[in-house]
Amino acid sequence: EAQVTQNPRYLITVTGKKLTVTCSQNMNHEYMSWYRQDPGLGLRQIYYSMNVEVTDKGDVPEGYKVSRKEKRNFPLILESPSPNQTSLYFCASSLQGAGGYTFGSGTRLTVV
Partner 1 sequence: AQSVTQLGSHVSVSEGALVLLRCNYSSSVPPYLFWYVQYPNQGLQLLLKYTSAATLVKGINGFEAEFKKSETSFHLTKPSAHMSDAAEYFCAVSGQGGSEKLVFGKGTKLTVNP
Residues lying near partner 1 in the complex (CB under 8 A): 31, 33, 35, 40-45, 48, 50, 58, 90, 92, 94, 96-97, 99-106
18 near 34, Cβ under 8 Å?
A: no
Q: What is the CA radius of gyration of the chain?
A: 13
Shortest distance in whole angstroms from residue 68 CB to partner 1: 14
Q: What distance in Å separates the CA atoms of residue 50 and residue 33, rounded to the nearest whole number?
A: 9
Shortest distance in whole angstroms from residue 105 CB to partner 1: 5
Shortest distance in whole angstroms from residue 5 CB to partner 1: 11
Q: In the chain, what is the straight-line distance between the N-terminal and C-terminal CA atoms, in Å?
A: 36
Q: Which is nearer to partner 1, 36 or 111 (CB)?
A: 36
For 2, 31, 42, 96, the CA distances from 19, given in Å and listed in that order, are 27, 23, 24, 29
Shortest distance in whole angstroms from residue 13 CB to partner 1: 20
109 beta partners: 11, 87
Q: Which is nearer to partner 1, 43 or 77 (CB)?
A: 43
Q: Which is nearer to partner 1, 6 or 85 (CB)?
A: 6
